Chain A
Amino acid sequence: MKRTKEVKIPLSLYRAIEEKIEGSDFLSVSEFITYAARKALTELGGHGEQLSEEEKEEIRKRLRALGYL
Protein backbone atom coordinates (compact mmCIF):
# COMPACT_ATOMS: atom_id res chain seq x y z
CA MET A 1 0.00 0.00 0.00
CA LYS A 2 1.28 3.45 -0.89
CA ARG A 3 1.98 5.37 2.33
CA THR A 4 2.47 8.86 0.94
CA LYS A 5 0.28 11.47 -0.74
CA GLU A 6 1.23 14.31 -3.01
CA VAL A 7 0.48 17.87 -1.96
CA LYS A 8 0.92 21.07 -3.94
CA ILE A 9 2.78 24.11 -2.67
CA PRO A 10 3.71 27.30 -4.55
CA LEU A 11 6.84 26.88 -6.64
CA SER A 12 8.43 29.96 -5.06
CA LEU A 13 7.98 28.41 -1.61
CA TYR A 14 9.42 25.12 -2.85
CA ARG A 15 12.49 26.94 -4.20
CA ALA A 16 12.90 28.93 -0.98
CA ILE A 17 12.84 25.72 1.07
CA GLU A 18 15.24 24.04 -1.33
CA GLU A 19 17.66 26.90 -0.90
CA LYS A 20 17.23 27.04 2.88
CA ILE A 21 17.84 23.34 3.52
CA GLU A 22 20.96 23.11 1.41
CA GLY A 23 23.73 21.91 3.70
CA SER A 24 21.30 21.31 6.58
CA ASP A 25 20.21 17.99 8.10
CA PHE A 26 17.11 17.92 5.88
CA LEU A 27 17.73 15.69 2.88
CA SER A 28 14.74 16.81 0.84
CA VAL A 29 11.95 19.37 0.63
CA SER A 30 9.48 16.57 1.47
CA GLU A 31 11.36 15.80 4.67
CA PHE A 32 11.30 19.47 5.65
CA ILE A 33 7.58 19.83 4.90
CA THR A 34 6.79 16.67 6.90
CA TYR A 35 8.77 18.03 9.84
CA ALA A 36 7.16 21.49 9.65
CA ALA A 37 3.65 20.08 9.29
CA ARG A 38 4.06 17.78 12.30
CA LYS A 39 5.41 20.64 14.38
CA ALA A 40 2.52 22.86 13.37
CA LEU A 41 0.00 20.15 14.21
CA THR A 42 1.52 19.71 17.66
CA GLU A 43 1.48 23.44 18.31
CA LEU A 44 -2.10 23.80 17.18
CA GLY A 45 -3.12 21.26 19.81
CA GLY A 46 -6.73 20.58 20.68
CA HIS A 47 -7.75 17.85 18.32
CA GLY A 48 -7.96 14.33 19.55
CA GLU A 49 -9.91 15.49 22.59
CA GLN A 50 -13.36 14.15 21.87
CA LEU A 51 -14.69 13.63 25.34
CA SER A 52 -18.38 14.25 25.86
CA GLU A 53 -19.48 16.40 28.80
CA GLU A 54 -20.88 13.24 30.42
CA GLU A 55 -17.56 11.47 30.11
CA LYS A 56 -15.72 14.48 31.50
CA GLU A 57 -18.08 14.63 34.47
CA GLU A 58 -17.50 10.92 35.15
CA ILE A 59 -13.75 11.49 35.12
CA ARG A 60 -14.10 14.58 37.31
CA LYS A 61 -15.99 12.47 39.88
CA ARG A 62 -13.35 9.75 39.87
CA LEU A 63 -10.51 12.28 40.22
CA ARG A 64 -12.32 13.89 43.14
CA ALA A 65 -12.90 10.50 44.79
CA LEU A 66 -9.22 9.65 44.43
CA GLY A 67 -8.20 12.94 46.02
CA TYR A 68 -6.70 14.56 42.94
CA LEU A 69 -9.15 17.49 43.02
Chain B
Amino acid sequence: MVVPHGGRLVDRVLKGDRRKEALERARVLPKLELSRELAFEVENIATGVFSPLEGFLGREDLESVLDHGRLANDVPWTIPIVLDISEDVAKSIRDELVLCYLGEPVAIMEVEEVYTYDKERMALGVYGTTSEEHPGVLKVKGMKELLVAGKVELLNPVPSPFPKYKLSPKETRVLFELKGWRTVVGFQTRNVPHIGHEYVQKTALTFVDGLFINPVVGRKKPGDFKDEVIIAAYEALMENYYLRDTAVLAVLQMEMRYAGPKEAVHHAIVRKNFGCTHFIVGRDHAGVGNFYPPYAAQEIFEDYPDIGIVPLFFRSFFYCRRCGGVVNEKICPHGEEHKVNFSGTKLRRVLKGEEDAEEVLIRPEVEEVIRSYPEPFVEGG
Protein backbone atom coordinates (compact mmCIF):
# COMPACT_ATOMS: atom_id res chain seq x y z
CA MET B 1 0.00 0.00 0.00
CA VAL B 2 1.30 3.45 -0.89
CA VAL B 3 2.80 5.35 2.05
CA PRO B 4 0.65 8.32 3.13
CA HIS B 5 1.97 11.76 2.26
CA GLY B 6 4.71 12.78 4.65
CA GLY B 7 5.15 9.18 5.81
CA ARG B 8 2.28 8.68 8.25
CA LEU B 9 -1.50 8.70 8.06
CA VAL B 10 -2.71 11.32 10.50
CA ASP B 11 -5.48 10.19 12.85
CA ARG B 12 -6.69 12.86 15.23
CA VAL B 13 -10.18 11.55 15.80
CA LEU B 14 -10.91 11.38 19.51
CA LYS B 15 -12.59 8.28 20.88
CA GLY B 16 -13.71 6.82 24.21
CA ASP B 17 -12.57 8.50 27.41
CA ARG B 18 -10.34 11.02 25.65
CA ARG B 19 -13.32 12.23 23.64
CA LYS B 20 -15.56 12.35 26.70
CA GLU B 21 -12.97 14.34 28.61
CA ALA B 22 -12.45 16.73 25.69
CA LEU B 23 -16.19 17.27 25.28
CA GLU B 24 -16.42 18.14 28.95
CA ARG B 25 -13.52 20.58 28.64
CA ALA B 26 -15.09 22.09 25.53
CA ARG B 27 -18.12 23.29 27.47
CA VAL B 28 -16.22 26.17 29.03
CA LEU B 29 -13.80 27.03 26.22
CA PRO B 30 -14.26 29.86 23.73
CA LYS B 31 -16.11 28.75 20.61
CA LEU B 32 -15.76 29.58 16.96
CA GLU B 33 -18.56 28.79 14.51
CA LEU B 34 -17.23 27.48 11.21
CA SER B 35 -18.66 27.52 7.70
CA ARG B 36 -19.44 24.10 6.21
CA GLU B 37 -16.29 24.29 4.09
CA LEU B 38 -14.05 25.00 7.09
CA ALA B 39 -15.73 22.22 9.05
CA PHE B 40 -14.83 19.90 6.15
CA GLU B 41 -11.21 21.08 6.39
CA VAL B 42 -11.12 20.23 10.10
CA GLU B 43 -12.47 16.77 9.45
CA ASN B 44 -10.08 16.25 6.54
CA ILE B 45 -7.14 17.15 8.76
CA ALA B 46 -8.27 14.87 11.59
CA THR B 47 -9.05 11.84 9.43
CA GLY B 48 -5.79 12.00 7.49
CA VAL B 49 -7.13 13.23 4.16
CA PHE B 50 -4.66 16.11 4.50
CA SER B 51 -1.78 14.06 5.98
CA PRO B 52 0.80 15.12 7.08
CA LEU B 53 -1.09 18.20 8.35
CA GLU B 54 -2.22 17.89 11.96
CA GLY B 55 -3.81 21.30 12.12
CA PHE B 56 -4.19 24.65 10.40
CA LEU B 57 -0.97 26.06 8.97
CA GLY B 58 1.26 28.44 10.89
CA ARG B 59 3.09 31.35 9.31
CA GLU B 60 6.28 29.48 8.45
CA ASP B 61 4.44 26.70 6.63
CA LEU B 62 2.06 29.13 4.96
CA GLU B 63 4.88 31.25 3.56
CA SER B 64 6.72 28.17 2.37
CA VAL B 65 3.58 26.85 0.66
CA LEU B 66 2.96 30.16 -1.08
CA ASP B 67 6.57 30.70 -2.15
CA HIS B 68 7.75 27.14 -2.84
CA GLY B 69 4.68 24.91 -3.05
CA ARG B 70 6.08 22.91 -0.12
CA LEU B 71 5.71 22.84 3.64
CA ALA B 72 8.61 24.26 5.64
CA ASN B 73 10.02 20.72 5.97
CA ASP B 74 10.11 20.49 2.16
CA VAL B 75 7.21 18.06 1.79
CA PRO B 76 5.15 18.97 -1.32
CA TRP B 77 2.06 20.99 -0.42
CA THR B 78 0.40 23.59 -2.63
CA ILE B 79 -2.88 24.71 -1.04
CA PRO B 80 -2.88 26.67 2.23
CA ILE B 81 -5.15 25.05 4.78
CA VAL B 82 -5.78 28.02 7.03
CA LEU B 83 -8.35 29.28 9.49
CA ASP B 84 -9.18 32.97 9.31
CA ILE B 85 -10.51 34.90 12.30
CA SER B 86 -11.46 38.49 13.11
CA GLU B 87 -9.52 40.67 15.54
CA ASP B 88 -12.39 40.44 18.03
CA VAL B 89 -12.26 36.66 18.03
CA ALA B 90 -8.46 36.78 18.32
CA LYS B 91 -8.81 38.80 21.52
CA SER B 92 -11.00 36.14 23.11
CA ILE B 93 -8.78 33.20 22.22
CA ARG B 94 -6.88 31.31 24.91
CA ASP B 95 -4.80 28.14 24.62
CA GLU B 96 -7.66 26.11 23.27
CA LEU B 97 -10.55 26.87 20.98
CA VAL B 98 -13.64 24.83 20.23
CA LEU B 99 -14.50 24.70 16.55
CA CYS B 100 -18.25 24.34 15.97
CA TYR B 101 -20.50 23.70 13.02
CA LEU B 102 -24.24 24.40 13.23
CA GLY B 103 -23.72 25.08 16.92
CA GLU B 104 -22.27 21.64 17.66
CA PRO B 105 -18.63 21.15 18.64
CA VAL B 106 -16.63 19.54 15.85
CA ALA B 107 -13.08 19.79 17.17
CA ILE B 108 -10.79 21.22 19.79
CA MET B 109 -7.92 23.31 18.51
CA GLU B 110 -4.69 23.76 20.39
CA VAL B 111 -3.87 27.37 19.55
CA GLU B 112 -0.22 27.78 18.60
CA GLU B 113 -0.13 31.06 16.74
CA VAL B 114 -2.29 33.98 15.65
CA TYR B 115 -0.78 35.95 12.78
CA THR B 116 -1.37 38.44 10.02
CA TYR B 117 -1.01 37.61 6.33
CA ASP B 118 -0.95 39.31 2.98
CA LYS B 119 -4.05 38.56 0.91
CA GLU B 120 -2.45 39.59 -2.39
CA ARG B 121 0.47 37.31 -1.72
CA MET B 122 -1.89 34.48 -0.88
CA ALA B 123 -3.92 35.03 -4.07
CA LEU B 124 -0.79 35.10 -6.21
CA GLY B 125 0.80 32.14 -4.46
CA VAL B 126 -2.23 29.91 -4.91
CA TYR B 127 -4.09 31.20 -7.94
CA GLY B 128 -1.33 33.01 -9.81
CA THR B 129 -3.52 36.09 -10.14
CA THR B 130 -5.11 38.86 -8.11
CA SER B 131 -8.04 39.27 -10.50
CA GLU B 132 -11.34 39.31 -8.68
CA GLU B 133 -12.88 37.51 -11.63
CA HIS B 134 -11.24 34.42 -10.21
CA PRO B 135 -13.59 32.85 -7.61
CA GLY B 136 -10.66 31.76 -5.43
CA VAL B 137 -9.20 35.27 -5.33
CA LEU B 138 -12.59 36.69 -4.46
CA LYS B 139 -12.80 34.27 -1.57
CA VAL B 140 -9.33 35.21 -0.29
CA LYS B 141 -10.22 38.91 -0.43
CA GLY B 142 -13.30 38.20 1.67
CA MET B 143 -11.35 36.37 4.37
CA LYS B 144 -10.94 37.81 7.86
CA GLU B 145 -7.79 39.69 8.78
CA LEU B 146 -5.95 37.15 10.95
CA LEU B 147 -5.08 33.46 10.78
CA VAL B 148 -5.00 31.09 13.71
CA ALA B 149 -2.76 28.03 13.60
CA GLY B 150 -2.74 24.88 15.65
CA LYS B 151 -3.43 21.17 15.83
CA VAL B 152 -7.01 19.94 15.87
CA GLU B 153 -8.65 16.91 17.43
CA LEU B 154 -12.02 15.80 16.11
CA LEU B 155 -14.85 15.50 18.61
CA ASN B 156 -17.73 14.80 16.24
CA PRO B 157 -17.96 14.02 12.52
CA VAL B 158 -19.31 16.71 10.23
CA PRO B 159 -22.79 15.73 8.98
CA SER B 160 -22.68 14.55 5.39
CA PRO B 161 -25.40 14.72 2.76
CA PHE B 162 -23.95 11.45 1.41
CA PRO B 163 -23.21 9.24 4.44
CA LYS B 164 -23.28 6.14 2.26
CA TYR B 165 -20.37 7.44 0.23
CA LYS B 166 -18.28 9.08 2.93
CA LEU B 167 -15.12 7.08 3.57
CA SER B 168 -11.97 8.04 5.44
CA PRO B 169 -8.48 7.23 4.14
CA LYS B 170 -8.22 4.52 6.79
CA GLU B 171 -11.35 2.93 5.37
CA THR B 172 -10.40 3.21 1.71
CA ARG B 173 -6.99 1.71 2.47
CA VAL B 174 -8.63 -1.31 4.10
CA LEU B 175 -11.14 -1.49 1.24
CA PHE B 176 -8.43 -1.52 -1.44
CA GLU B 177 -6.52 -4.15 0.50
CA LEU B 178 -9.60 -6.36 0.85
CA LYS B 179 -10.29 -6.01 -2.85
CA GLY B 180 -6.75 -7.10 -3.55
CA TRP B 181 -5.88 -3.89 -5.36
CA ARG B 182 -2.14 -3.19 -5.30
CA THR B 183 -2.45 -0.31 -7.75
CA VAL B 184 -5.35 2.13 -7.68
CA VAL B 185 -6.02 5.12 -9.90
CA GLY B 186 -7.84 8.10 -8.41
CA PHE B 187 -10.25 10.18 -10.46
CA GLN B 188 -11.18 13.65 -9.29
CA THR B 189 -14.38 15.14 -10.59
CA ARG B 190 -16.82 17.97 -10.05
CA ASN B 191 -18.96 17.05 -13.04
CA VAL B 192 -21.49 14.49 -14.13
CA PRO B 193 -19.79 11.87 -16.30
CA HIS B 194 -19.85 12.12 -20.07
CA ILE B 195 -18.40 9.47 -22.38
CA GLY B 196 -15.03 11.23 -22.40
CA HIS B 197 -14.69 10.85 -18.62
CA GLU B 198 -15.66 7.21 -18.85
CA TYR B 199 -13.11 6.59 -21.56
CA VAL B 200 -10.31 8.23 -19.55
CA GLN B 201 -11.22 6.23 -16.43
CA LYS B 202 -11.39 2.95 -18.30
CA THR B 203 -8.18 3.61 -20.20
CA ALA B 204 -6.38 4.19 -16.89
CA LEU B 205 -8.09 1.19 -15.32
CA THR B 206 -6.69 -1.02 -18.06
CA PHE B 207 -3.25 -0.62 -16.47
CA VAL B 208 -4.06 -0.74 -12.75
CA ASP B 209 -6.08 -2.97 -10.42
CA GLY B 210 -8.79 -0.56 -9.31
CA LEU B 211 -10.48 2.77 -10.00
CA PHE B 212 -11.38 5.18 -7.20
CA ILE B 213 -13.96 7.69 -8.42
CA ASN B 214 -13.90 10.51 -5.91
CA PRO B 215 -16.19 13.46 -6.69
CA VAL B 216 -15.67 16.61 -4.70
CA VAL B 217 -18.77 17.69 -2.83
CA GLY B 218 -18.92 21.09 -1.21
CA ARG B 219 -19.07 24.69 -2.33
CA LYS B 220 -18.88 25.10 -6.09
CA LYS B 221 -19.39 27.98 -8.44
CA PRO B 222 -22.77 28.86 -9.96
CA GLY B 223 -23.45 26.82 -13.08
CA ASP B 224 -21.63 23.70 -11.80
CA PHE B 225 -23.70 20.58 -11.32
CA LYS B 226 -25.24 20.11 -7.88
CA ASP B 227 -23.59 17.46 -5.75
CA GLU B 228 -26.65 15.22 -5.59
CA VAL B 229 -26.89 15.23 -9.39
CA ILE B 230 -23.23 14.23 -9.77
CA ILE B 231 -23.61 11.34 -7.33
CA ALA B 232 -26.84 10.09 -8.91
CA ALA B 233 -25.28 10.32 -12.39
CA TYR B 234 -22.27 8.27 -11.28
CA GLU B 235 -24.51 5.69 -9.63
CA ALA B 236 -26.30 5.24 -12.95
CA LEU B 237 -23.03 5.01 -14.88
CA MET B 238 -21.45 2.51 -12.51
CA GLU B 239 -24.52 0.33 -12.31
CA ASN B 240 -24.71 -0.01 -16.04
CA TYR B 241 -21.17 0.24 -17.35
CA TYR B 242 -18.63 -0.70 -14.64
CA LEU B 243 -17.52 -3.92 -13.05
CA ARG B 244 -18.29 -3.94 -9.35
CA ASP B 245 -14.92 -5.47 -8.50
CA THR B 246 -12.81 -2.85 -10.21
CA ALA B 247 -14.42 0.50 -9.40
CA VAL B 248 -15.42 2.26 -6.20
CA LEU B 249 -17.29 5.53 -5.66
CA ALA B 250 -16.79 7.70 -2.57
CA VAL B 251 -17.18 11.43 -2.00
CA LEU B 252 -14.56 13.91 -0.93
CA GLN B 253 -16.06 16.68 1.20
CA MET B 254 -13.86 19.55 0.17
CA GLU B 255 -14.40 22.89 -1.41
CA MET B 256 -13.27 23.44 -5.03
CA ARG B 257 -10.80 26.29 -5.24
CA TYR B 258 -10.29 26.42 -9.01
CA ALA B 259 -6.56 26.87 -8.45
CA GLY B 260 -5.67 24.91 -11.61
CA PRO B 261 -2.13 23.48 -11.39
CA LYS B 262 -1.71 24.05 -7.64
CA GLU B 263 -5.00 22.35 -6.97
CA ALA B 264 -4.10 19.42 -9.26
CA VAL B 265 -1.11 18.70 -7.02
CA HIS B 266 -3.32 19.01 -3.95
CA HIS B 267 -5.86 16.62 -5.45
CA ALA B 268 -3.11 14.11 -6.16
CA ILE B 269 -1.76 14.32 -2.59
CA VAL B 270 -5.23 13.80 -1.13
CA ARG B 271 -5.81 10.70 -3.30
CA LYS B 272 -2.41 9.36 -2.29
CA ASN B 273 -3.61 9.56 1.31
CA PHE B 274 -6.71 7.59 0.36
CA GLY B 275 -4.35 4.87 -0.90
CA CYS B 276 -4.16 5.62 -4.62
CA THR B 277 -0.94 4.87 -6.46
CA HIS B 278 -1.94 6.76 -9.60
CA PHE B 279 -3.94 9.91 -10.29
CA ILE B 280 -5.60 11.11 -13.49
CA VAL B 281 -4.83 14.66 -14.57
CA GLY B 282 -6.75 15.84 -17.57
CA ARG B 283 -6.93 19.01 -19.59
CA ASP B 284 -7.42 22.19 -17.53
CA HIS B 285 -7.71 20.24 -14.27
CA ALA B 286 -9.41 22.37 -11.58
CA GLY B 287 -9.25 25.37 -13.87
CA VAL B 288 -11.71 28.20 -14.31
CA GLY B 289 -12.24 30.54 -17.26
CA ASN B 290 -8.98 31.13 -19.10
CA PHE B 291 -6.78 31.63 -16.05
CA TYR B 292 -4.51 28.65 -16.74
CA PRO B 293 -2.99 27.21 -19.91
CA PRO B 294 -4.79 23.95 -20.81
CA TYR B 295 -1.97 21.65 -19.70
CA ALA B 296 -0.44 23.70 -16.87
CA ALA B 297 -1.95 21.26 -14.38
CA GLN B 298 0.13 18.48 -15.95
CA GLU B 299 3.35 20.45 -16.36
CA ILE B 300 3.48 21.41 -12.67
CA PHE B 301 4.17 17.79 -11.71
CA GLU B 302 7.69 18.22 -13.16
CA ASP B 303 8.40 20.25 -10.01
CA TYR B 304 7.33 17.36 -7.79
CA PRO B 305 9.36 14.27 -8.63
CA ASP B 306 9.07 13.35 -4.94
CA ILE B 307 5.28 13.54 -4.68
CA GLY B 308 4.89 9.78 -4.27
CA ILE B 309 1.91 9.21 -6.57
CA VAL B 310 2.10 8.65 -10.31
CA PRO B 311 0.19 11.27 -12.29
CA LEU B 312 -1.42 9.93 -15.47
CA PHE B 313 -1.72 12.68 -18.04
CA PHE B 314 -4.52 12.63 -20.56
CA ARG B 315 -5.01 14.86 -23.56
CA SER B 316 -8.54 15.63 -24.71
CA PHE B 317 -10.53 12.73 -26.03
CA PHE B 318 -13.24 13.09 -28.65
CA TYR B 319 -15.59 10.90 -30.61
CA CYS B 320 -14.63 10.44 -34.26
CA ARG B 321 -17.50 9.47 -36.54
CA ARG B 322 -15.11 7.97 -39.11
CA CYS B 323 -13.18 5.93 -36.55
CA GLY B 324 -16.51 5.02 -34.97
CA GLY B 325 -15.21 5.39 -31.44
CA VAL B 326 -13.61 7.53 -28.77
CA VAL B 327 -10.08 8.53 -29.81
CA ASN B 328 -7.52 11.27 -29.28
CA GLU B 329 -5.29 13.38 -31.46
CA LYS B 330 -2.46 10.85 -31.25
CA ILE B 331 -4.45 8.04 -32.77
CA CYS B 332 -7.03 9.61 -35.07
CA PRO B 333 -6.03 10.92 -38.53
CA HIS B 334 -9.39 12.47 -39.40
CA GLY B 335 -10.41 16.11 -39.68
CA GLU B 336 -12.42 18.37 -37.41
CA GLU B 337 -15.62 17.73 -39.38
CA HIS B 338 -15.73 14.17 -38.03
CA LYS B 339 -15.15 15.06 -34.39
CA VAL B 340 -17.61 15.37 -31.56
CA ASN B 341 -15.80 17.04 -28.67
CA PHE B 342 -16.65 16.21 -25.08
CA SER B 343 -16.80 19.02 -22.63
CA GLY B 344 -18.62 19.81 -19.44
CA THR B 345 -19.64 23.15 -20.92
CA LYS B 346 -21.13 21.48 -23.99
CA LEU B 347 -22.96 18.98 -21.80
CA ARG B 348 -24.41 21.78 -19.71
CA ARG B 349 -25.61 23.55 -22.86
CA VAL B 350 -27.25 20.35 -24.15
CA LEU B 351 -29.01 19.76 -20.85
CA LYS B 352 -30.19 23.35 -20.76
CA GLY B 353 -31.62 22.86 -24.27
CA GLU B 354 -29.26 25.47 -25.73
CA GLU B 355 -27.57 22.95 -28.04
CA ASP B 356 -28.71 19.75 -29.80
CA ALA B 357 -27.96 16.51 -28.00
CA GLU B 358 -25.35 14.16 -29.48
CA GLU B 359 -26.02 10.54 -28.71
CA VAL B 360 -22.29 9.91 -28.33
CA LEU B 361 -21.86 12.55 -25.62
CA ILE B 362 -23.48 10.89 -22.63
CA ARG B 363 -24.90 7.50 -21.68
CA PRO B 364 -28.73 7.46 -21.92
CA GLU B 365 -29.09 6.17 -18.35
CA VAL B 366 -26.96 9.04 -17.07
CA GLU B 367 -28.84 11.63 -19.10
CA GLU B 368 -32.17 10.30 -17.82
CA VAL B 369 -31.04 10.68 -14.22
CA ILE B 370 -29.78 14.23 -14.76
CA ARG B 371 -32.99 15.24 -16.53
CA SER B 372 -35.02 13.94 -13.60
CA TYR B 373 -33.76 16.96 -11.59
CA PRO B 374 -35.77 20.10 -12.40
CA GLU B 375 -32.71 22.28 -11.65
CA PRO B 376 -29.45 20.28 -11.83
CA PHE B 377 -27.14 23.29 -11.61
CA VAL B 378 -25.81 25.33 -8.70
CA GLU B 379 -27.88 28.50 -8.74
CA GLY B 380 -26.60 31.93 -9.66
CA GLY B 381 -25.16 31.10 -13.12
State the A residues within 8 Å of B (CB).
3, 34-35, 38-39, 41-42, 44-49, 51, 55-56, 59-60, 62-63, 66-69
Contact = CB atoms under 8 A, between A and B. Distances in A.
Contacts of B8: 47-48
Given A42-B3, A48-B4, A68 B248 contact: yes
B308 A49 contact: no
Contact of A47 (B7, B74, B173): B7
A48 B175 contact: no
Contacts of A34: 74, 306
Contacts of B2: 42, 45
Given A48-B3, A63-B171, 15 more contacts: A34-B74, A34-B306, A35-B306, A38-B306, A39-B305, A45-B2, A45-B3, A46-B1, A46-B3, A47-B3, A47-B7, A59-B174, A59-B175, A63-B174, A69-B175
A49 B173 contact: yes
21 contacts: A3-B74, A38-B306, A38-B308, A39-B305, A46-B1, A47-B3, A47-B7, A48-B8, A49-B9, A49-B173, A51-B174, A59-B170, A59-B171, A59-B175, A60-B174, A62-B171, A63-B171, A63-B178, A66-B164, A69-B175, A69-B178
Given A42-B308, A49-B1, A63 B175 contact: yes
A69 to B, nearest CB: 6
Contacts of B7: 41, 47-48
B290 interface: no
A44 B174 contact: no
A68 B74 contact: no
Given A3-B72, A38-B306, A41-B3, A48 B174 contact: no
Contacts of B170: 51, 55, 59
Interface string B157-183: 000000010010011011100100000
Given A63-B178, A68-B248, A35 B171 contact: no
Contacts of A63: 167, 171, 174-175, 178
Contacts of A51: 170, 174
Nearest to B8: A48
Interface of A is mostly: helix
A51 B170 CA distance: 8
Ranked nearest first, the 4 interchain pairs of A and B with the lowest CB-CB distance are A42-B308, A38-B306, A59-B174, A48-B8
Interface of B: 1-4, 7-9, 72-74, 164, 167, 170-171, 173-175, 178, 248, 305-306, 308
A44 B48 CA distance: 20
A59 B306 CA distance: 31
Nearest to A41: B3
Contacts of A67: 164
Contacts of B305: 35, 39
Contacts of B248: 68
Nearest to B73: A3
A32 to B, nearest CB: 11
A69 B175 CA distance: 8
Nearest to B182: A45
A35 B1 CA distance: 20
Contacts of A35: 305-306
A55 B168 CA distance: 13
A3 B70 CA distance: 14
Contacts of B308: 38-39, 42
Contacts of B178: 60, 63, 69
B350 to A, nearest CB: 32
Contacts of A66: 164
Contacts of A49: 1, 9, 173
A52 to B, nearest CB: 12
A46 B73 CA distance: 22
B76 to A, nearest CB: 9
A60 to B, nearest CB: 7
Nearest to A65: B164
A32 B43 CA distance: 35
